């Protein structure tokens, strides 16, 4: 019954911002590393950001980012809501992709359905 439900994608102008949400159910997401991946047309899926498990309720875990998004994107989690977020700022056309939420650090075992992010003028 593990499920990851993503929301927040859409069309945005270059330089704009979006926040993606990944609502987890069937497990306690704070006990797992969680990751965001993206896949652009004709390209392989790439890791965007990931966050370590938060084994204490007072911590949200430690983030890790791809070089291409570092300084622009922020991964975070709200343990009470069992939700992981990806805040995306200063968006570029090259950020256009389907974004996926996944459970795991290096070898995710569950994936969300994906949400389309399009950055275009």
Q: What is the tens place of the pLDDT at every residue in 25-84?
A: 999 999 999 999 999 999 999 999 999 998 876 678 899 999 999 999 999 999 999 999
Quote the pLDDT of residue 40: 97
CA distance 5 to 97: 17
What's the whole-number mean pLDDT along residues 1-21? 98
Quote the pLDDT of residue 55: 80
CA distance 96 to 80: 30
Share above pLDDT 70 across residues of the chain, in percent, rounded to a whole number: 98
Quote the pLDDT of residue 116: 98
């Amino acid at each position: 019954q593990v499920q990851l439900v993503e929301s927040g994608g859409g069309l945005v102008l270059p330089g704009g911002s979006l926040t993606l949400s990944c609502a987890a159910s069937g497990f306690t997401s704070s006990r797992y590393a969680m990751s965001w991946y993206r896949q652009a047309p004709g390209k392989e899926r790439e890791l965007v950001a990931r966050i370590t498990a938060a084994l204490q309720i007072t911590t949200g875990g430690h983030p890790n980012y791809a070089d291409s998004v570092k300084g622009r994107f922020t991964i975070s989690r709200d343990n009470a809501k069992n939700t992981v977020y990806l805040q995306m700022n200063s968006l570029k056309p090259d950020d256009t992709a389907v974004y996926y939420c996944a459970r795991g650090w290096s070898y995710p075992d569950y994936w969300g359905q994906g949400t389309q992010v399009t950055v275009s003028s």
